[in-house]
Structure 1
Amino acid sequence: MRQLLAWTLAAAAALAAAPTAPAARPDCPRLTTSWHGDNRARLQRVIDARGTCSGHTGAVAAFDWDNTVTKNDVTDATLSWALRHDRLPRPARWKDTSAWLTEAADRALTAACGTGAGAPLRTSAEPRCTDEILEIRENATTMSGAPAFAGHWNHRRTVPQYAWVPQLFAGRTPAELASYTRAARREALAAPVGATRVLGTHTVPAYVRPYGQMRDLIRTLHRAGFRVYVVSAGAEPVTEVWSKGVGVDAAHTIAIRPVLDRRGRITTRDEGCGGVPATRGAVIPYIDGKRCWINQEVYGVRGAAAWQRQPWRRRPALAAGDADTDVTFVGDATGAHLVIDRGKPELMCRAYDDADGRWLVNPMFIDPLPRRTTPYPCSATAWTAPDGTPGPLLRPDGSVVPDQAGRTT
């Protein structure tokens, strides 16, 4: 009971600390698209309270990209295009592409794809090679089911198969990768909603669509004086091409940033965050890594402090995401935590527990999930520890989040 009282008082204090929206004026920037339930009205209140309608400018809004602003993953769309057009460079050794690639994965990729630096992979004519790459990207296993990655990494700062995609383009320049993305983007926007294609034996989405509601939200935030950022666990040269289409420029786009060699070519190393130097994928914008990159790049917080939750005025007013990779930075938002429901347990447990009364859950705007029939296992396995161990999800006061039922559809 004492813990519950402390949690209730803390939530009430957080609500009292935030500014309230004034009565809306006719000239305030307004959202115009339809949302689930009262989400549009609640988002509008944050815009009114923290934007030009209240005489403020410079508040931050931060968005995940893949499956938050768009339906489907744009890095996967670029990888698909590159595989079909032989644009991946062949590595000298597959083991060089990731610090955690297993011997089994190295053997499988070598057998299916070959080695020898310089020549492009002929994946358009080698379905076995395409299959191995896609299986590792999607499931972190080889086609035979062997683990593709092993070793030690912080599971709240990176996931090897996410870091691996930019590493596959080592030897290409960011401009070349951006050109592949523009071609993939034209193709994905032209494909009808629901379209798929077969690569090797894998069936993958063939289309991408920016959500109209997210376009409208970002446009309205800009008009209201917000600084809008995209923070993604995709490859930055890829994400920048897409984010430009909704009015977010490269300077406001944060994703995996490859270190370049002296000739300006992508390497298998990525820029670091929070006092961690450049590594082979150990620190990317993933779970706690997204907080670190926002704190560092948006608010100028340096060193180990970038991993910590910052004071109220150094956190986004609004943050949006769709997956567990987004849970930390979305939870840091002070005005609204917007969640696109894709059924990811840690994020959905936080959203439905709604500890501060500011979580908004919205079904996917295209092909939403059916209503969940079993509760999310918040009290048992929803949280992932840095060593990868699942465990119960805790509130800030240490109490366990009870299991939550899905309620959006």
Structure 2
Amino acid sequence: MNLKRRCTAAAAVLAVAGTGLIGVQATAEATQDSSRPKTGKCPTLTVSKGWYGDNRARLQRMVDRYGSCGDGHGHGAGPVAVFDWDNTVIKNDIGDATMFWLLRNGKIRTPESGDWHTTSRYLTHPAAKALAKACPATGTTLPTHRNTACADEILAVYSEGTTTSGKAAFAGFDHRRMEPQYAWLAQLTRGWSTRQVKQFAAAARKENLAAPIGTEQRVGTGKVTGWVRYYDQQRDLIRTLKKAGFDVYVVSASPEPVAEVWGRSVGVDAGHTLGIRNVTAHGKHTAHLKGCGTVKDGDDSMITYIDGKRCWINKEILGVRGAAAEKVQPAAKRQVFAAGDSDTDVSFLRDATGLRLVLNRNKNEVMCRAYDNGDGRWLVNPMFIEPKGKKADPYPCASTGYTERDGGEGPVRRTDGSVIPDQRDTVHGTATPSSTS
């Protein structure tokens, strides 16, 4: 599946994004938008519950300014909006939901030649040994619905990044472009067709939407989250953006076929969905992954994760090819709006030239950048369902908030190299708004 190449019209992007408009941004937006003539009636956001402060009003002003109804809209392609998926458009994680379903239904294929190293180039020897011991190769699929020891071992490696005995399961990867635990789910779909993977995802989706909020399910000998909900607020925002002429995409660190299944309910089709892509052979998924930028197919070293999300957005949405896809593009070629919830999303959030919406899950780097808000374009909102309370300690922006490529920790720096000071958590929630499926 190839997404269409496109390039955002320069008139649809603020050329001054990132130049330090501190404190006066909201006032400037109001002044500009109130005086701008409109070319048509702008669609409006209809869900008001759950939005913090003036976030909803600022999102509406963005729609009014950049939408096809606004004078800021160019005559070329529509402005781009990019959403992360898990815990951004929905509550909880579709990758988790799919993995749990695979384990409960015995749908994970036995590794080639029984060698677990074939499932991930980053799998450690202790992890491969533990998996081989817990999951003896007795057929084409592993009986994880009956063999709880096997299910427990796979679940520990996927969820915790360790074996059940606590040994590291993955090593040697670039922490700014790869999360091998996320990638492993896609790699464990080896041997199934894309259609079959979508069927598995659809079954998991049906179960998780039907389960009451707070439901737990048993996988192996343990209990894990057993429910998912769409956020009404994000469904409304996506609908409004699309109606206003925005080109809306989902970019997820879950397998792409899984994200496609879930995205349809918010009006995002397969052509506007990006996720982890498997290399296929003879119509079946392999344990190898598609690459981006300088990373070739089968190298398995970059997925839609932190800087990898930037690369895939540049390549598949903005039409940038080769090594240049790994770089920040000129403002006129970047997305106008981005929404995320985690450090996973920080690079493509920073690239957005209009507004950047962050749902607060207490993730260090993204919250450091959002609260620093150097150009006045970051919006912080509590999660719409089960929002986190106030983080007691400041975010350690000046010391350990940034994850280095080798996995080490360091200070979070602005574009000019200056260090962001520690930030206090000021936007948090206490209520649990309801949401429909």
Residue 97, structure 1, aligned to residue 106, structure 2: no
SS at 1:320 equivalent? strand
Percent identity of equivalent pairs: 52
The 8 Å contact of residues 93 and 115 in structure 1, kept in 2 or not, is answered as: no
Distance 2:294 2:392 in 1: 43
Distance 2:174 2:117 in 1: 20
Distance 1:253 1:373 in 2: 37
Residue 218 (structure 2) aligned to one of 198, 220, 223: 198
The offset of 1:9, in angstroms, is: 9.5
Residue 279, structure 1, aligned to residue 279, structure 2: no
Distance 2:32 2:153 in 1: 53
The offset of 1:23, in angstroms, is: 5.4
1:132 counterpart residue number: 153
2:132 counterpart residue number: 110
- Normalising by the residue count of structure 2, what TM-score does the alignment of the two structures yield? 0.88
SS at 2:249 equivalent? strand
The offset of 1:281, in angstroms, is: 2.6
Residue 38, structure 1, aligned to residue 45, structure 2: no
Distance 1:44 1:337 in 2: 13
Task: Work out the number of aligned pairs and report it.
Answer: 400
Residue 33 (structure 2) aligned to one of 18, 21, 24: 21
The 8 Å contact of residues 323 and 344 in structure 1, kept in 2 or not, is answered as: yes
Cα 1:280–1:111 change in 2 (3 A) is farther
* Structure 2 counterparts to residues 339-378 of structure 1, below 5 A: 339-378=358-397
Residue 11, structure 1, aligned to residue 25, structure 2: no
The offset of 1:27, in angstroms, is: 2.7
The 8 Å contact of residues 181 and 238 in structure 1, kept in 2 or not, is answered as: yes
* Structure 2 counterparts to residues 160-309 of structure 1, below 5 A: 160-261=180-281, 263-309=282-328
What letter corresponds to residue 364 of structure 2 in structure 1?
P
What letter corresponds to residue 312 of structure 1 in structure 2?
A
SS at 1:157 equivalent? coil
- In structure 2, list runs of 5 or more residues that go unmatched: 1-16, 429-437
CA offsets per residue over residues 268-288 of structure 1, 9 Å max, x none?
111111132113530101000
- In structure 1, list runs of 5 or more residues that go unmatched: 1-7
Distance 1:40 1:233 in 2: 27
The 8 Å contact of residues 145 and 220 in structure 2, kept in 1 or not, is answered as: no
CA offsets per residue over residues 158-189 of structure 1, 9 Å max, x none?
01111111111111111111000111111111
What letter corresponds to residue 115 of structure 2 in structure 1?
R
Distance 1:348 1:183 in 2: 34
SS at 2:101 equivalent? helix
Q: Which has the higher contact order (CA 8 A, sep 6+)?
A: 2
SS at 1:12 equivalent? coil
The offset of 1:78, in angstroms, is: 1.1
Distance 1:331 1:236 in 2: 23
Distance 2:95 2:275 in 1: 11
The 8 Å contact of residues 268 and 280 in structure 1, kept in 2 or not, is answered as: no
CA offsets per residue over residues 199-238 of structure 1, 9 Å max, x none?
1233211111110000000000000000000001110010
1:396 counterpart residue number: 415
The 8 Å contact of residues 160 and 281 in structure 1, kept in 2 or not, is answered as: no
Once superposed, which parts of structure 1, at least 4 consecutive aligned residues long, lie more than 4 Å away?
13-17, 22-26
The 8 Å contact of residues 382 and 427 in structure 2, kept in 1 or not, is answered as: yes
1:3 counterpart residue number: none
RMSD: 2.2
Moved more, 289-298 or 92-101: 92-101
Distance 1:365 1:207 in 2: 15
The 8 Å contact of residues 134 and 202 in structure 1, kept in 2 or not, is answered as: no
The offset of 1:38, in angstroms, is: 0.8
Distance 1:376 1:9 in 2: 22
What letter corresponds to residue 343 of structure 2 in structure 1?
D
The 8 Å contact of residues 98 and 280 in structure 1, kept in 2 or not, is answered as: no
Cα 1:42–1:169 change in 2 (3 A) is same
The offset of 1:374, in angstroms, is: 0.5
Residue 407, structure 1, aligned to residue 429, structure 2: no
SS at 2:346 equivalent? helix
What letter corresponds to residue 37 of structure 1 in structure 2?
G
Distance 2:165 2:140 in 1: 26
CA offsets per residue over residues 340-397 of structure 1, 9 Å max, x none?
1101000000000001101000111110111111000000011111111110011111
- Normalising by the residue count of structure 1, what TM-score does the alignment of the two structures yield? 0.94
SS at 1:305 equivalent? helix
1:4 counterpart residue number: none
The 8 Å contact of residues 83 and 340 in structure 2, kept in 1 or not, is answered as: yes
Residue 154, structure 1, aligned to residue 174, structure 2: yes
1:142 counterpart residue number: 163
The 8 Å contact of residues 22 and 48 in structure 1, kept in 2 or not, is answered as: no
The offset of 1:301, in angstroms, is: 0.6
Residue 70 (structure 2) aligned to one of 54, 57, 62: 54
The 8 Å contact of residues 22 and 49 in structure 1, kept in 2 or not, is answered as: no
The offset of 1:10, in angstroms, is: 2.8
Distance 1:388 1:141 in 2: 16
What letter corresponds to residue 193 of structure 1 in structure 2?
I
The 8 Å contact of residues 97 and 167 in structure 1, kept in 2 or not, is answered as: yes
The offset of 1:266, in angstroms, is: 0.5
The 8 Å contact of residues 71 and 208 in structure 1, kept in 2 or not, is answered as: yes
CA offsets per residue over residues 315-349 of structure 1, 9 Å max, x none?
11110001101001011111111001101000000
CA offsets per residue over residues 50-86 of structure 1, 9 Å max, x none?
1112152600000000110010101111111111111
